């Protein structure tokens, strides 16, 4: 299984909204991002849905600048 296939599977979440945002990021941004941003996206996928929602909605702030960049890209989708 390819890396993108594994990530696509991990983008399947408990809500349609997260599915759409994460998959859109994976298709539109992930292929052209830096290795650091790819790592940050993979770290985001390890989070539980409520925490991921909080970050994307701005209720919680990421501490890492690279993670913030990825979250901003997710917000702009």
Which stretches of 12-64 are DSSP H helices?
A: 16-28, 35-45, 49-57
The tens digit of pLDDT for each residue in 54-77 reads 999 999 999 899 999 999 999 998
Length of the chain, in residues: 77
* Domain range list for the chain: 3-75
Chosen CATH of 3-75 out of 1.10.150.250, 1.20.120.420, 1.10.1660.10, 1.10.3720.10 = 1.10.150.250
Kindly report the pTM of this predicted structure: 0.92
What's the burial of 41, exposed, middle or buried (CB within 10 Å: 0-12/13-18/19+)?
Answer: buried
**Is the pLDDT at 20 greater than 90, yes or no?**
yes
The beta-carbon contacts of 19-25 under 8 Å, at least 24 apart in sequence, are 21/56, 21/74, 21/77, 22/74, 24/77, 25/70, 25/73, 25/74, 25/77
**At 1, is the pLDDT very low, low, confident or very high (cuts 50, 70, 90)?**
confident
What digits encode the pLDDT tens for the residues 30-53? 999 999 999 999 999 999 999 999
Please give the pLDDT value at position 77: 85
């Amino acid at each position: 299984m390819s890396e993108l296939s594994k990530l696509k599977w991990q983008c399947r979440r408990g809500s349609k909204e997260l599915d759409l945002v994460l998959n859109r990021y994976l298709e539109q941004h992930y292929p052209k991002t830096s290795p650091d941003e790819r790592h940050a996206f993979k770290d985001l996928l390890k989070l539980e849905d409520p925490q991921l929602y909080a970050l994307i909605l701005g209720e919680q702030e990421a501490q890492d600048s690279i993670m913030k960049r990825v979250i901003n890209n997710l917000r702009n989708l």
